[in-house]
Structure 1
Amino acid sequence: MSKLPPQLDAEHFSPPDLVTLPRDQATHAPRILLLYGSLRDRSYSRLLVEEAARLLTAMGAEVRTFNPAGLPLPDETSEHHTKVLELRELAAWCEGMVWSSPERHGALSGVMKAQIDWIPLFAGGTKPTQGKTLAVMAVCGGVHSFNAVNQMRQQGRWMRMIAIPNQVSIPAAFNEFDEAGHLLPGEYFDRLVDVMEELVKFTLLTRSVSPWLTDRYSERKKRAAKARIA
């Protein structure tokens, strides 16, 4: 090893290498949580999630979809509210997520943001979203826009998630679904298949090594300092 910088605490410095890479791979079906950002009866963000769920199931994933109806606004009530507990339990259960929001006034919807805000960065000594995969999708009422997906990517990074490279954004979504609520054949359906494939692949690749990927020098130092004080 080359000479270390003098300000570095060598005791807690552990350079990544193949020797420390965990070898055990999980074999159960990837666990994916899907969230959507609209309460309308014919919600295109929900229809897109339902299409994604069908594809993920066909790809061998175990999927669960959270219904945001009845979820209170953040800070409106206790975190022990039934819907908040349901959402947090699902966030802890999953290994990857799909977020689907309508774009409203050039941004993700309030319904979508409320769900994200109710999922904590820290809970009971754990980080419920850290190292988990994320796919983002948006539906637009008019012309093509990427504001909502870009904002959700930003939110996902803040939640310490692994946002996959591909994404879905559908303009004039009311023209892209049939009466039964299925996404019509075409480039947007093909893109949805691409994104769900990519999500499953990234989840399979990262879930078993997530604790290794997110093991940080700064946090090892802090844990050691707390242990000495205790």
Structure 2
Amino acid sequence: MAASPLKILAISGSLRKSSFNSAALETAAEIAGEKAEFIFANLAGIPLYDQDLRDLGVPEAVAALQQQVLEADAILFSTPEYNYSVSGVLKNAIDWLSRVDPQPFADKPVAVMSASMSAFGGARAQYDLRRTLIYLNAHFVNRPEVMISFAHKKFDESGKLTDADTRTFIGNLVQSLEQWTRRITE
């Protein structure tokens, strides 16, 4: 009997319309096909974290993201690297979610990839994201590591991945996330 499709929440750390990280997540969804249902989070409406605002309640956009994380079987992040770390928009969303109850990242299977125009492919951002989410008790796929360097040369103008090796790496990560999720949740 075939396993039911996983529900994977795809979270891009970039708001840019033509984001390489969002395109990488689209590629992951395409590769997964019927093995997974990808839901794409939208971080655009999340206000800057402010404890005074939090004291008034949880903003609607934060509550919606919290629900998406809670309902997902697994999370796949793709983050750009800004100044050797994760983007402010992604860190802000995580900060909000770390202060809601229930905290949705606890015991959640997670994988991360990154895309950057640099030679490092966002490696430093990935390690910062891992460090942050380990504190929140997320359970990471450790390998393969997918760091898409020189991303501007690997995606075309429409956001389609054109590099076969990168496509293979993303496919391996999606497969590892599926296996890891089934292993720790069944």
Asked if these proteins are the same fold (TM beyond 0.5), I'd say yes
CA distance in 1, matches of 2:119, 2:126: 14
State the partner residue of 2:166: 188
CA distance in 1, matches of 2:71, 2:172: 24
State the partner residue of 1:19: none
CA distance in 1, matches of 2:85, 2:166: 20
Pick closer, same or farther for the CA change 1:122–1:111 going to 2, 3 Å. Answer: closer
How far off its partner does 1:121 sit?
A: 6.2
SS at match of 2:9: strand
Q: Deviations over 1:26-63 (max 9, x none)?
A: x643221111111112111111111112223x151122
CA distance in 2, matches of 1:87, 1:142: 30
State the partner residue of 2:36: 61
Q: Deviations over 1:149-208 (max 9, x none)?
A: 111111221111110012211112111102221111322111101000000111111113
State the partner residue of 1:39: 15
1:113 to 80, 83, 91: 91
The reply on whether 1:165 has 2:142 as its aligned counterpart is yes
Residue 74 of structure 1 contacts residue 117 of structure 1 at CA under 8 Å; is this kept in 2? yes
Aligned residues with identical type, % of pairs: 26
Greater C-alpha Rg: 1
SS at match of 2:80: strand
- Map residues 1-230 of structure 1 onto 2, 5 A cutoff: 28-56=4-32, 58-75=33-50, 77-78=53-54, 79-120=57-98, 123=101, 126-145=102-121, 146-166=123-143, 167-208=145-186
Task: List gaps (5 residues or longer) in structure 1.
Answer: 1-26, 209-230
Pick closer, same or farther for the CA change 1:204–1:121 going to 2, 3 Å. Answer: farther
Q: TM-score, normalised by structure 2?
A: 0.88
Amino acid at match of 2:119: V
CA distance in 2, matches of 1:102, 1:128: 23
Q: TM-score, normalised by structure 1?
A: 0.72
Amino acid at match of 2:14: S
Task: List gaps (5 residues or longer) in structure 2.
Answer: none
For the aligned residue pairs, the C-alpha RMSD in angstroms reads: 1.8
CA distance in 2, matches of 1:54, 1:80: 33
State the partner residue of 1:228: none
